Structure formats: C-alpha cells, structure tokens
Chain A
Amino acid sequence: MLSSKASSNCHGQDSLYFLGWQVYEKNPFHEVENPTGIIQMGLAENQLSFDLVESWIRKNPDVMGLKNKDGESVFRDLALFQDYHGMPAFKNELVEYMAKIRGNKVKFDPNNLVLAAGATSANETLIFCLADPGDAILLPTPSYAGFDRDLKWRTGVEIVPIHCSSSNGFRISMFALEEAYERAQKLNLKVKGVLITNPSNPLGTTMTKDELQSLITFAIDKDIHLISDEVFSGTVFDSPCFISIMEAAMDSNLKRNIDVLSRIHIVYSLSKDLGLPGFRVGMIYSNNQTVVSAATKMSSFGLVSSQTQYLLSYMLANKKFTSNYMKRNQKRLKKRKEMLVSGLKKSGINCLKSNAGLFCWVDMRHLLCSNTFEAETDLWKKILCEVGLNISPGSSFHCSQPGWFRVCFANMNQSTLQVALRRIKDFVERSSFNYQQNMGSLSRKLISNWVRKLSSADREEQER
C-alpha cells in the first residue's frame, strides 16, 4: 500500500552509523546518573560554545521578543513572511559571515543564496536541480553516512564512490576520479556532478588549492557540476587555512570563468559552525541563475522559520559577537581535538592528521583480528557494548579499507572525554594482553610443530 520509496531502505538508515545511535539512546551516559552508560561519540555536534550564544541571547531580550531596535513589535510582519526568497536582512548577514569565514578572500552576492531547512534539505534540493532520476553523482569515500539518504532517496539519483585510501591520506587522486567516472560509464550511468565535503567529514582535513583546481578542471572536462559541501568551514582550527572552492575557481584564467562559475555550487549551514542544528538553517550558493531560480521555488518545501531568520540576522549583524565566537570556538575545538589525539596516542592509537571538523579519523587497523570488514564490525560491537563508546565504523562511511573509525569530540564536556579515553586505554591494554597470550601460545604451538617435524625427519633419515 505504500510507495516503493517509502518501503525501500535506500535511506540507508539501517547502517551501523544509525544503529549505534539507537543502542546509545537505550543507555546514554550521564556523569552523575548513569556513569557506566554509553558515551556518544558518533554525533558531530558542536556543544563547546553554547555559552557564547547564550550570553548573546541574554543581552538581547528585545530580539527574542520579536521587537526591533525601536522596541516596536515586528511580529505581524514575521508571522506573515513566507517569501521563498528569504529575508533580505538575513541573507545579507549570511553572505558577510560566509565571506568572513573564508578570510574575506571571496565575496558573495545575497541574490545567489537560497535558504533551506538545514544542509540536509539544501543538498537534496541541489541534487534535484542538477540531476534527473537515474543519473549519478561521484562522491569521494569515506563520506558522511547521511548522503545515501540526502542525495539518493527521493531524487532517484545514484551515488558512485571515488575510492580514496590511506596510502595518500585519503586525498582524492586524479586516477581515482577517472576510475570512478569510468565505472559509472560502464554501469550506464550519466554522471552529472562531483560532490566533495570540504573540510571533509569524516576525515577532518581541508583541501589544497591544487586539489580544488584539479577538481574544477575535471568538472569542466567532463562537462559536469561540482558541489562543495562546506558545512564545516567555520570549524577550521589549525593550519593550513581553509580555501573555498569559490576562491580556487576565481584563480582560474578568466576565459574559463563564465563556464566555471555556472557549474560550482556551495552548500552551507549554521549547524556545525554556530552549533545551532536545531534551528534548521541551511543554504545553497550558486552563480547559475537557473539553479538559483529552481532551488528558490523548491525551497517552499523547507523554508526557514521567519522568527529564526529574524533572530539570527541580529546575531550575525553583531560583528563583535561573530569575531569573538569564531576565535574562541576554534581555540576550544583545537584544544579538545588535541586532547583526544594525545589520549589515543597513549593507547597506541593514531589519528589522521586533521585541522578541522568536530571529529577525528582514527586508525584502529592494528586492533583488528583480520583485515576485513567483519573484523571491523566485531571491533565496533565490542567498543559499543563492552567499552561503552558509540564511535562510527569506517564501513558506514563506505570506506574501502577496514579498521578506521570516526570519533567525535565536540559534543561532550572535558571530563566525559577523559572517561572515554580511560575506557579506551583499558580496552587496548586488555586486548593486547590477550593478544600476547594468544600470540605466546600460538608461537609455542608453531615451534613445537616445527620441532616435531624436524625430529620426525631426522628419524626417517636415521631409519633409512
């Protein structure tokens, strides 16, 4: 009785990424009330800087009361405002904020900005605009587990992965890009675009200008689009500094510019940078007027509440607040990440070197009993149920190599993180002890077998 879309599991919600959350929700950690519960390290949320937003709200009761600077109520206008072009004041502030994050090296036009109810909605709308059912989008792996749902489910578009490996730090190589493109051709899928996440989720790394320009050249070559999901652009806490796809595109020679800008699109949201996922504020930025026009009309399906637009336009207009927020937020993220990385190192676990994001891409290959995804799932289960940490296994990010996990650090306080690190240390020590024991017994077995063989050979010779 239901549509095939509703009854399919193409939404990917059955992956381990989401299963882990379910198990966590049945037994969530709480410092006081449930200290043996599962610690949530699978949710990339930024809770480190709530106090800054809170203090702004406290200092601006009028805005919260939907009053303007003169103390007059603007409620009437807000209540009726459902223009899918979005509130001009809000969009003006957004483009300035976006430019600020990019070191003001690019300028954005608010008329090219389309609002959506979160980056989830923005990504889906953009795919609706760029591809028809049955077309394909190339996506580098490992990639955000939610893309299966956001990009494929209702759009009917396919995802063809670009396999990246640890051999070069999971960077996108031209070889891998071409290989993915050819794979799509063999499957009779028309490739309409490449979607990259920069800074990357789950890697936490930013792309270099060369990498971005190679991607742009590839897109021009194949006559396809390039979508850059830059939701984590404000979480870059270390060098190298963030380079947006727009900045890389500006550098190409002018002759290509007319063509280049019409195929590059940015997706952004306030969920990660400002830590406001509940507000549901996302956006698409594009120089392609047809895309902007179509996306604007589609945004009727996910408009941002006028009340929220009003609130945030004031918050972002306060330049002192945004500068202060960006600086302190990035410092806190850096400190927290270093705490995680050094803590894991003490347990003999390395992380991919990262300079952004709310998580680390952790190398646990040496803890696998075999180099397979079954072993990875076993390890994940053990860590979830025995150790009590919900971390996300690489398979749920479609990583081509087993043994990597994404561990989030920004959605808990310091003491909780320390508890988590201690648990990991204990687990690793336990496992290595068992491993040594096993190895010890195994080597003894091997030696005895070999000795027996030798002795039997000797005897044979003697007998002869």
Chain B
Amino acid sequence: THLSFPLGHDPAPLVVQTRKPVRAAAAAAMRLIVPLQSVVQGRGGLIFGSLIPCALFYFLQLYLKRHRSPKPQSNPPSPTTSSPKLAEMTRTSSRSNLFSRSIGQVRISSRAISIAKPNESPYYIGLDKASEDPYDRLSNPDGVIQLGLSENRLCFDLIEKWMSENLGHSITGRDNGELNINGIATYQPFDGTMELKLAMAGFMSHIMGGAVTFEPSQMVLTAGATPAIETLCFCLADQGNAFLVPTPYYPGFDRDVKFRTGVELIPVHCRSTDNFALSITALDQAFNQTRKHGTKIRGILLSNPANPVGNLLSREMLYAILDFAREKNIHVISDEIFAGSMYGNEEFVSMAEVLDSEGFDKNRVHIVYGLSKDLSLPGFRVGVIYSFNENVLAAARKLTRFSSVSAPTQRLLVSMLSDARFIEEYIKTNKRRLQNMHALFVAGLKGLNIRCADSSAGLYCWADMSKLISSYSEKGELELWDKLLNVGKINVTPGSACHCIEPGWFRCCFTTLAEEDIPVVLERIRKAVENTTDLLNSS
C-alpha cells in the first residue's frame, strides 16, 4: 500500500513496509516515525507531533554536549590529556558521563587568562630583548643598547657616595648609639611612617622649586607610582567607567589603569602641529563622544611633565583643565613623577601650586609622585598619592595595605631625604647632567636629520623619524622599530605603543647612556636606515 502524502512533503526515511493484516499497527508506527503525517491525519498526532520532535531535539542536544570541544576560555588543554578521554566517552556513552565537566585544565579567571598571555606590545618585547643581550662598552659592545627604559643612571655616583658615608646607621637607627631594629620589623602604618611622609613632603617641595608646600597628612605612600595609579583608579571609578588620557602616553598606564580595575582609557589625541600640546577642544570632543556611547567619564589622567613627549603644561592650561573638570564634574589625576627631571628653561608648575593660588575645587585633584625617576630608585618601590580629598585619602589609606613601602627602605629614605645638603647638591648636579646629555643627544639626532619635539623635562626625547619609515602608517613604523632593534641593535619605544596618532615618532631615553655611547647610538641608527634616501645629508 502506498502511503499518501497529501501535502506533498518529502517522506521521512521509511523502512516499514505495510501489509494488510498489520495495517493498523503499521499506521500507528508510522505516526510515531512520521510525526508530520500524524499531525496532518489528526489522530492523536498533535501530541506525538510535538512530543517526538522535542524528544529528538533533546537527544540531539545531549549528543552535541557530549562531543562539544572544550570551552574557549579554558586554557588550551594539552592534547594528550583531552583526546583519549573524549574517545572513551563516545564508546561507553554511559549516561553519567553525558553531563560531566569540561575536559582540560582547571579554569582560572578570564582576567588572568588575558594577562598571562605573552605581551605583544613592542614596548615590552623591546625591553625583554634588550635585557637578554645588554650592551656594555667593554664586555658586550655588540649588545642591544637600551633606550626604551626611562631610567636615570647619570647620578648614581652621588648616591653611592652618600650611601657609603651614611648607610650603616641609617637603617638600624641610632638610639643612644645602640642598634634598634625593633621599629623596623613590626607592622608599620600601611600608608607609610610619618617620618617618611615628612621627608617626602620636604623633598617634593624642593623639587618643585619651593613654590608649593605639601602636607604630610594628605599623603599616602605606596610601593611605587604603579600601585598609586591603580589605587586612585579604584577609588575614583567603577568598573566600566573611563578616564580621558592625552596621547601619546606612557604605555604602562594601560596596565596600571586597566589590568584589574575594569576602568577604560579614552585617548585624547594631540598632534605634532602644536607640539603635542593638549587642547580643551579635543578633551571636550572626547568627553562628549564617550558619553554618547554610554560610558561614564570619571576623570582625566595627565602626566606633567609629559611622558613620552617631555613637554610641560602651562599655568593657563592647568587653569583650563581645572575649569573643564569642574564643568564636567570629574577628577584630575596629575602624574608628576618627572617633576624633578627638568633640563629646559621653562618653569614647572604643579597642580598643587595652581590650587593653592586660585579658588579651585581641591577635592577633585590628586597628584601622583615617586622616587623612580628623580632619585633613580625604581627598585626601592616608593610612590606617593597626594590628595586634597579626605574621602579619597581615607579609602586610599586602607588600600595601601596591598602595596606598602618596605620598612628598611623607609628608614633609608628618611635618612637620605632629610639630608638637605645632599639633596640640594643632587638636584643641581642632576639637572646639569640632564641638560648636557639632552643637548648632546638631540644635536646628534639633528645631525641625522631627525628632529625632536620641543621638551623641557623627562629622561627621553620624542624623535620624529617619520621620514625614515617606508609607509606612513603604523606598519611602517613598526618595521622601522624592528630594523632598529634587530639590525641596529638599539631599543627605542615606537609611538604606536604610546598610542600616538601620528606614525613615525619614537621615544629615546638618553639617561641610560654615558657621553661616549652617544656616537655609537647615532652610528647604529645611521647604519640601520642607510638605505633610506632621506639620510643623504647626514653629517
């Protein structure tokens, strides 16, 4: 007997052959197998018609689950552990295995997975390469010259001299000539001892030309400027909020602000036509743009003196920024870590100084400082959060327990920073040597027809190598960076790592060099780009 399909549907694969005596049974069987037909024939078909597809769908899902590949967020499982298990499961197909946990290594947080990935930024790749094969004039003259790390090695001799004269008793403390370690080892106030805060306040004031006094009670000390920035972000913004940051900016901000806080950074692009000066128009545009996308801006993150450009924010600009912040009701974080590394003739004006003079709302300004640049002690981990906002200070004080300054280091620095004569001499000599190195280096680059942006501070210069790149794009810039690193064997930081919108700019730190190294660097640059025609008029 033929089975009719009145609606002209293609039949499901039918294996049942009907015979007259079992016609009824066959028909029932058919209704199970061909639910559609049952529905059409309207004999209890609706129930079967809905149940059976559901059952089939359910079993399909089970089947898929069993054979699903490991979830993308788990660590890539080693093939040896995962595949045998999968094979086992298809063979046994025991019910209990159907819903077993995903194969592969135990899951860790999504935060950790993204952080653990090897860093692809040229900033970090270059640093690694330079540290693997570091240049040494005598022992490794073919090594990589490190111009990508803003470290100041120019005045170590001064500090070393101070150490040899003072270190012995500075840590253990002089208590009637007796050794007293008791104070060192016990729990200290997590936001730093009052002695160190006092000494730091004095030092910061000195560095900034005495134009402003810092109040120790408004200070919170942290293990470096890195946790200072992160801590402020935790205090001022919630997950999903954002900070405006002028570009180009220090590549480390991406880590400090974004790693764990969930706060975003919105770039505010600055251009070479105004020597990378910040404009309020650009700030405003970025603010409105971001707001339209539904993200709340909580503040502006500035570095002044700027890194990597090295220019300063003028007094007028500071006023304008504070006005803008007040208008939009946002915070201002001013990272002034290079305040003591001035070599230009401009005068550095701290946010604190401006606040002192005019009637600005102090509650929205927070200053970050540290001893890694001005005093060349990045290894000792000493940073400062300076705020006028009592609530921020209260929260930050509690947060510094995750990043306190080590006690022996606090002792040592109290001693060093309180030595007024030494600090005076250090600041003067440091400035002189910085000026000297800067002048030599920039002149040297000029000789290669590479001009630098105007700058007055920092441990680096911002060099325009756009004429030397093959294509005016990030790709071209990275090709040049790669050539300089692998052929020229010098590590510089490409502008793209600093989120610079114009390709071809590179940050070159010159304070890791001695004077004798400069010609070597220049020669290597020349060699690395010698096929580029624009170098024809190099001296």
Interface residues of A (CB under 8 A from B): 1-7, 11, 13, 43, 45, 47, 50, 53-54, 57-58, 61, 64-66, 73, 75-76, 78-82, 117-118, 120-121, 124, 128-133, 135, 149-150, 154, 156, 192, 223-225, 258-259, 262-263, 271, 275-281, 288, 290-291, 293-295, 297-298, 300-308, 311
**CB–CB A81/B227 < 8 A:** no
- Which of B156, B160, B238, B398 is in CB contact (< 8 Å) with A4? B238
**CB–CB B184/A303 < 8 A:** no
**CB–CB B402/A301 < 8 A:** yes
- The answer to the question of B235 belonging to the interface, with a C-beta cut-off of 8 Å to chain A, is yes
**CB–CB A298/B260 < 8 A:** yes
Chain A residues positioned under 8 Å from B238 (CB to CB): 3-5
- Looking at the assembled complex, report how far the CB atom of B17 sits from the nearest CB atom of chain A, in whole angstroms: 51
16 CB contacts below 8 A, A to B, read A5-B234, A6-B236, A6-B395, A45-B187, A75-B163, A82-B378, A120-B401, A129-B111, A280-B404, A280-B407, A290-B108, A301-B260, A304-B381, A305-B381, A307-B412, A308-B409
Chain A residues positioned under 8 Å from B185 (CB to CB): 50, 53, 275-279
- Which of B112, B156, B159 is in CB contact (< 8 Å) with A290? B112
- Looking at the assembled complex, report how far the CB atom of A189 sits from the nearest CB atom of chain B, in whole angstroms: 14
One of B164-172, B270-278, B307-315 contacting the partner:
B164-172
Instruction: Please measure, in the bound complex, the distance between the C-alpha atom of A2 and the C-alpha atom of B366, giving whole angstroms.
Output: 13
Closest to B395 in A: A6
- The answer to the question of B83 belonging to the interface, with a C-beta cut-off of 8 Å to chain A, is no
Chain B residues positioned under 8 Å from A43 (CB to CB): 187
**CB–CB B391/A7 < 8 A:** yes
**CB–CB A79/B186 < 8 A:** no
**CB–CB A130/B179 < 8 A:** no
- The answer to the question of B105 belonging to the interface, with a C-beta cut-off of 8 Å to chain A, is yes
Closest to A225 in B: B106
Instruction: Please measure, in the bound complex, the distance between the C-alpha atom of A167 and the C-alpha atom of B406, giving whole angstroms.
Output: 42
Closest to A124 in B: B402
**CB–CB B179/A128 < 8 A:** no
- Looking at the assembled complex, report how far the CB atom of A364 sits from the nearest CB atom of chain B, in whole angstroms: 26
- Looking at the assembled complex, report how far the CB atom of A210 sits from the nearest CB atom of chain B, in whole angstroms: 23
**CB–CB A54/B181 < 8 A:** yes
Q: 6 other contacts beyond A79-B156, A80-B379, with CB at 8 A cut-off?
A: A4-B238, A5-B395, A130-B112, A278-B407, A301-B227, A306-B380
Q: Do most interface residues of chain A lie in helix, strand or loop, or is the interface mixed?
A: helix
Instruction: Please measure, in the bound complex, the distance between the C-alpha atom of A340 and the C-alpha atom of B414, giving whole angstroms.
Output: 39
- The answer to the question of B483 belonging to the interface, with a C-beta cut-off of 8 Å to chain A, is no
Chain A residues positioned under 8 Å from B75 (CB to CB): 290
Say whether, besides A3-B236, A301-B403, A278 and B188 are in contact (CB < 8 Å).
Answer: yes
Closest to B409 in A: A305
- Which of A78, A150, A288 is in CB contact (< 8 Å) with B379? A78
Say whether, besides A128-B260, A277-B187, A301-B230, A223 and B179 are in contact (CB < 8 Å).
Answer: no
**CB–CB B164/A65 < 8 A:** yes
Instruction: Please measure, in the bound complex, the distance between the C-alpha atom of A192 and the C-alpha atom of B363, giving whole angstroms.
Output: 39
- The answer to the question of B496 belonging to the interface, with a C-beta cut-off of 8 Å to chain A, is no
Chain B residues positioned under 8 Å from A154 (CB to CB): 234, 260-261, 399, 402
**CB–CB A223/B107 < 8 A:** yes
Chain A residues positioned under 8 Å from B160 (CB to CB): 73, 75-76
**CB–CB B116/A301 < 8 A:** no
Instruction: Please measure, in the bound complex, the distance between the C-alpha atom of A308 and the C-alpha atom of B236, giving whole angstroms.
Output: 32
Chain A residues positioned under 8 Å from B399 (CB to CB): 154
Instruction: Please measure, in the bound complex, the distance between the C-alpha atom of A239 and the C-alpha atom of B195, giving whole angstroms.
Output: 44
- The answer to the question of B392 belonging to the interface, with a C-beta cut-off of 8 Å to chain A, is yes
Chain A residues positioned under 8 Å from B110 (CB to CB): 132
> Could you tell me which residues of chain B, from 135 to 169, have a CB within 8 Å of some CB in chain A?
151, 153, 156, 159-160, 163-164, 167-168
**CB–CB A118/B168 < 8 A:** no
**CB–CB A305/B408 < 8 A:** yes
Say whether, besides A7-B391, A61-B168, A132-B109, A280 and B223 are in contact (CB < 8 Å).
Answer: yes
Say whether, besides A64-B171, A82-B379, A278-B187, A294 and B108 are in contact (CB < 8 Å).
Answer: yes
- Looking at the assembled complex, report how far the CB atom of B167 sits from the nearest CB atom of chain A, in whole angstroms: 5
**CB–CB A79/B377 < 8 A:** yes
Highest count of chain A CB atoms <10 Å: which of B160, B182, B380:
B380
Instruction: Please measure, in the bound complex, the distance between the C-alpha atom of A156 and the C-alpha atom of B116, giving whole angstroms.
Output: 20
- Looking at the assembled complex, report how far the CB atom of A284 sits from the nearest CB atom of chain B, in whole angstroms: 12
Chain A residues positioned under 8 Å from B106 (CB to CB): 223-225, 259, 262-263, 288
Closest to A131 in B: B109
- Looking at the assembled complex, report how far the CB atom of A404 sits from the nearest CB atom of chain B, in whole angstroms: 24
- Which of A13, A64, A223, A278 is in CB contact (< 8 Å) with B172? A64
- The answer to the question of B65 belonging to the interface, with a C-beta cut-off of 8 Å to chain A, is no
**CB–CB A50/B402 < 8 A:** no
**CB–CB B403/A297 < 8 A:** no
- Which of A80, A124, A291 is in CB contact (< 8 Å) with B108? A291
Closest to B237 in A: A3
Chain A residues positioned under 8 Å from B392 (CB to CB): 2, 6
Instruction: Please measure, in the bound complex, the distance between the C-alpha atom of A462 and the C-alpha atom of B529, giving whole angstroms.
Output: 125
- The answer to the question of B55 belonging to the interface, with a C-beta cut-off of 8 Å to chain A, is no
Chain A residues positioned under 8 Å from B402 (CB to CB): 117-118, 120-121, 124, 150, 154, 301-302
- Looking at the assembled complex, report how far the CB atom of B46 sits from the nearest CB atom of chain A, in whole angstroms: 37
Chain B residues positioned under 8 Å from A308 (CB to CB): 406, 408-409
**CB–CB B398/A82 < 8 A:** no
- The answer to the question of B224 belonging to the interface, with a C-beta cut-off of 8 Å to chain A, is yes
**CB–CB B223/A305 < 8 A:** yes
**CB–CB B109/A129 < 8 A:** yes
- Looking at the assembled complex, report how far the CB atom of A196 sits from the nearest CB atom of chain B, in whole angstroms: 17
**CB–CB B182/A50 < 8 A:** yes
- Looking at the assembled complex, report how far the CB atom of B184 sits from the nearest CB atom of chain A, in whole angstroms: 6
Chain A residues positioned under 8 Å from B113 (CB to CB): 290, 294
Q: C-beta contact mask, B161-205 vs A, less than 8 Å → 1, else 0?
A: 001100110011000000101101111100000000000000000
Highest count of chain A CB atoms <10 Å: which of B81, B116, B188, B329:
B116
- Which of A2, A5, A76 is in CB contact (< 8 Å) with B391? A2
- The answer to the question of B300 belonging to the interface, with a C-beta cut-off of 8 Å to chain A, is no
- Looking at the assembled complex, report how far the CB atom of B57 sits from the nearest CB atom of chain A, in whole angstroms: 27
Chain B residues positioned under 8 Å from A300 (CB to CB): 226, 255
- The answer to the question of B266 belonging to the interface, with a C-beta cut-off of 8 Å to chain A, is no
**CB–CB B172/A66 < 8 A:** no
- The answer to the question of B115 belonging to the interface, with a C-beta cut-off of 8 Å to chain A, is yes
**CB–CB A128/B379 < 8 A:** no
**CB–CB B378/A117 < 8 A:** no
- Looking at the assembled complex, report how far the CB atom of A215 sits from the nearest CB atom of chain B, in whole angstroms: 15
Chain A residues positioned under 8 Å from B409 (CB to CB): 305, 307-308
Q: C-beta contact mask, B202-228 vs A, less than 8 Å → 1, else 0?
A: 000000000000000000000110110
**CB–CB A80/B168 < 8 A:** no
